[in-house]
């Protein structure tokens, strides 16, 4: 039975406040109204002001070696990307295969392997255009490959200690609380078999559950990326004084009116249906060649050859959770001034958002089609604002000669702590110095590579976890969890820890979930006399399994828009995979590490 009301009432106001802060933070993060880092840090501030934890205790999470290690790994992963090592690998993936199932297998295996040693977000972002191009070439729908791509990267992250931030957080807290050090490949004994089983599911069964979705962003890109034309409204044009709608320029097949340039220098972008045409107006259209020819032959519209607008390339970007643009309207975001770019369309959950583009409030996961100068990618590819998932421009040339150096350095970073007593953080710092010294990554790129919002999120979550322990809330929750499950055996306790961790990973984030569930899981483990090593690894696996929603992990968020998916598409494919991972963990963990000594 659950602990009696006496235990809960004896918790005290500090414990209840801590639980209320966690509940409120979870609701806010699920609602996606504020960035998760801001929400979690604000919750930590509430606990400090209320006196539940001291400032030193609250900020102790930011000095956790796991946080510093994750920051170092961000830069190391960026160096691999900068040198083009990922691109070299991706070019070998599909070869000449035209089999959908064989192509899927050839995609998922290297994706999972790479994700065991570097951040999975850049892997998925780089593979999206490659997968889309290959799928179109063999007559397949790209949406059949994007969810498996995301899941394979998440599965691969469980194969090593550095594969995901969740595993690093669990390992750091496990050592910090005196439970012992988790080795680099301890989790591999469970993570690798689970990954192999998961990949079999993704190749054999998942294609039966994935629904073909149209990618409206890709359709827009196909229509707009190659041709841009400018026409002038002549002084005797029959269109003078008419609105864009009345002039028949609103719904032209294969064309989109990007901008109106007035003779007085004013630029109208986006163009509204009621905007009226004036003599000398320059109308900028984007679309296919045939349609542009048709519009240039309309009475009163003269082609302009000498004033080609600077926006010649179309880019597809996905807003990240850490973007400063989240919560702003397109108009307030001032894309023209800040990025020298124009938003052609905004897609959310596979649907193009109608109405005036300027009034759209941007949210994490939104896919934006941008018309920008060719240098846009070089200027913003490392921005914290969004992930770029369009193809590289020709002007960009990765440092391919540095690729062997970067790969060798990463291999050394992994192997040294695996076979010596050198801590992972020390090995990572040495690798970082080597990558900077050999110019595998520039100083600017290394600064931008660090996902500061993730570090703030993790550090804040560890601080809130300290409040859970100090207030006694973790003890009460752990004992309650134990009372519910122990009558059914230690395996039931392990299952409860896994489910709790997976729920947090699905709706909050894997790293924050790991930090918050850790004290509860350890309390239950110690009280039941279970091996903390086994319980910690189970939690690390669980918080890396947020497959059932698109909001709990960056890989899912990245493929959400480009795949044209609905929210429940992830639930349909992800829930069976979560159950497979759960059952596999419950079989393997007790076999490898006896739960009761």
Tell me, yes or no, whether 206 lies in a domain: yes
- In this prediction, residue 390 carries a pLDDT of 56
From 253, 273, 299, the end of a domain falls on 299
Do 170 and 275 fall within a single domain?
no
Asked if residue 582 is part of any domain, the answer here is no
**202 in any annotated domain:** yes
Same domain, 156 and 203: yes
Instruction: Judge contact between 563 and 147, C-beta under 8 A.
Output: yes
pLDDT at 290: 46
Please say which residue of 299, 316, 347 terminates a domain: 299
Q: Pairing between strand 267-268 and 351-352?
A: unpaired
Which of 246, 277, 299 terminates a domain? The answer is 299
Tokens of 342: 């124009």
Structure tokens given for 420? 């010596």
Q: Which residues of 271-296 are buried (b: 16+ CB within 10 A; e: fewer)?
A: beeebebeeebbbbbbbbeebbeebe
- β-partners of residue 315 are 370
Q: How far apart are CA 391 and CA 403, in angstroms?
A: 20
Number of domains, the chain: 2
Burial of 88 (0-12, 13-18, 19+ CB in 10 A): middle
192 with 252, same domain: the answer is: no
Task: Spell out the long-range contacts of 30-35 with Cβ–Cβ below 8 A and sequence spacing 24 or more.
Answer: 30/507, 30/508, 30/551, 32/363, 32/364, 32/551, 33/327, 34/327, 35/321, 35/322, 35/326, 35/453
Whole-angstrom distance, CA of residue 416 vs CA of residue 252: 62
Spatial distance between the Cα atoms of 263 and 283, rounded to a whole number of angstroms? 11
Residue 423 in 3-state DSSP? Answer: coil
Instruction: Tell me, yes or no, whether 199 and 87 share the same domain.
Output: yes
C-alpha closest to that of 515 among 17, 28, 27, 41: 41
List residues bridging with 233 in a β-sheet. 301
User: Using N-to-C axis directions, what is the helix angle for 403-419 and 424-437, rounded to 10°?
Assistant: 160
Tell whether 158 and 207 lie within a shared domain: yes
Does 536 map to a domain? no
| Cα–Cα dist 350/225, whole Å | 20
Q: Can you give the residue range of the structural domain that contains 191?
A: 68-139+152-177+184-214+400-449
The pLDDT of residue 310 is 41
> Are both 109 and 210 inside the same structural domain?
yes
Residue 277 is assigned to a structural domain of this protein: yes
Q: What is the pTM of this model?
A: 0.66
The answer, yes or no, to whether the previous bond of 142 is cis (omega within 30 of 0) is: no
**Cα gap 514→528, rounded to integer Å:** 20
Domain co-membership, 109 together with 165? yes
Residue 310 lies in a domain: no
**pLDDT, position 541:** 93
On whether both 189 and 253 belong to a single domain, the answer is no
| 210 falls within a domain | yes
Write the DSSP symbol of residue 52: S
* Polymer length in residues for the chain: 597
Centroid of chain to Cα 270? 29
Specify the CATH number for the domain of residue 257: 3.30.70.1450
Question: Are 131 and 245 part of one and the same domain?
Answer: no
Q: Is the dihedral of CA 112, 113, 119, 123 positive or negative?
A: negative
Q: Is residue 286 part of a domain?
A: yes
Four-CA torsion 349, 351, 352, 356, nearest 10 degrees = -80
Q: What's CA 63's distance to the chain center, in Å?
A: 25
Helices 165-176 and 452-471: crossing angle in degrees, nearest 10, is 40
Of the candidates 502, 484, 504, 498, which has an alpha carbon nearest to the alpha carbon of residue 534?
498
- Positive/negative CA dihedral, 113, 116, 121, 122: negative
Residues 6 or more apart whose Cβ sits within 8 Å of residue 417: 184, 423, 424, 426, 427
φ, ψ for residue 348 (rounded to 5)? -140, 125
pLDDT lower than 70: segments of the chain: 1-10, 30-35, 85-92, 94-98, 137, 214-229, 251-255, 286-297, 303-314, 321-322, 344, 349-352, 354-357, 373-375, 378, 381-384, 388-400, 551-552, 597
- Looking at the fold, whether 189 and 113 belong to one and the same domain comes out as yes
The verdict on 83 and 210 lying in the same domain is: yes
| Residues 127, 207 within the same domain | yes
């Amino acid at each position: 039975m659950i602990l009696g009301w006496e235990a809960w009432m004896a918790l005290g106001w500090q414990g209840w406040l801590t639980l209320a802060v966690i509940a409120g933070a979870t609701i806010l993060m699920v609602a996606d109204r504020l960035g998760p880092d801001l929400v979690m840090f604000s919750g930590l501030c509430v606990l400090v002001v209320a006196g539940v934890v001291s400032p030193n205790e609250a900020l102790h999470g930011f000095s956790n070696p796991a946080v510093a290690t994750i920051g170092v790994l961000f830069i190391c992963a960026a160096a691999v990307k900068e040198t083009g090592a990922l691109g070299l690998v991706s070019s070998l993936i599909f070869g000449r295969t035209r089999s959908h199932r064989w192509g899927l297998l050839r995609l998922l295996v290297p994706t999972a392997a790479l994700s065991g040693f570097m951040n999975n977000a850049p892997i998925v972002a780089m593979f999206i255009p490659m997968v889309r191009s290959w799928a179109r070439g063999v007559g397949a729908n790209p949406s059949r490959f994007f969810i498996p791509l995301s899941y394979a990267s998440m599965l691969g992250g469980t194969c090593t200690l550095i594969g995901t931030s969740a595993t690093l957080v669990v390992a750091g807290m496990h050592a910090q609380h005196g439970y012992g050090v988790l080795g680099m490949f301890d989790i591999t004994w469970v993570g690798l078999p689970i990954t192999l089983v998961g990949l079999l599911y993704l190749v054999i069964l998942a294609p039966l559950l994935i629904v073909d979705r149209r990618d409206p962003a890709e359709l827009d890109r196909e229509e707009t990326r190659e041709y841009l034309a400018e026409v002038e409204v002549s002084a005797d044009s029959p269109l003078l004084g008419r609105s864009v709608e009345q002039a028949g320029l609103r719904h032209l097949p294969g064309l989109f009116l990007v901008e109106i340039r007035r003779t007085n220098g004013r630029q109208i972008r986006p163009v509204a249906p009621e905007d009226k045409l004036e003599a000398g107006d320059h109308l900028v259209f984007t679309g296919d060649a045939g349609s542009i020819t048709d519009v240039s032959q309309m009475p009163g519209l003269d082609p302009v050859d000498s004033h080609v607008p600077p926006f010649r390339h179309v880019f597809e970007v996905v807003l990240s959770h850490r973007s400063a643009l989240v919560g702003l309207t397109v108009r307030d975001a001032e894309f023209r001034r800040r990025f020298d770019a124009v938003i052609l369309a905004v897609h959310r959950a596979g649907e193009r958002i109608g109405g005036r583009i300027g009034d759209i409030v941007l949210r994490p996961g939104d896919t934006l089609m941008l018309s920008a100068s060719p240098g846009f990618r070089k200027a913003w590819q490392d921005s914290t604002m969004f992930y770029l998932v369009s193809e590289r421009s020709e002007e960009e040339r990765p440092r391919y000669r540095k690729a062997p150096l970067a790969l060798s350095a990463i291999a050394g970073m992994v192997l040294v702590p695996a076979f010596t007593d050198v801590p992972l953080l020390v090995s990572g710092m040495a690798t970082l110095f080597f990558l900077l010294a050999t110019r595998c990554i520039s100083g600017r790129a290394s600064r931008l590579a660090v996902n500061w919002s993730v570090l703030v999120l993790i550090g804040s979550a560890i601080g809130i976890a300290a409040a859970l322990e100090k207030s006694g809330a973790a003890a009460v929750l752990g004992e309650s969890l134990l009372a519910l499950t122990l009558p059914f055996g230690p395996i039931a306790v392990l299952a409860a820890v896994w489910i709790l961790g997976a729920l947090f990973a699905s709706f909050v984030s894997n790293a924050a979930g790991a930090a918050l569930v850790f004290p509860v899981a350890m309390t239950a483990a110690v009280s039941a006399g279970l091996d903390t090593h086994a319980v910690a690894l189970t939690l690390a696996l669980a918080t890396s399994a947020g497959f059932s929603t698109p909001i709990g992990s960056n890989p899912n968020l990245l493929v959400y828009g480009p795949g044209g998916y609905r929210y429940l598409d992830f639930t349909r494919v992800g829930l069976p995979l979560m159950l497979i991972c759960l059952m596999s963990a419950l079989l393997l963990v007790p076999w490898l590490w006896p739960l009761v000594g």
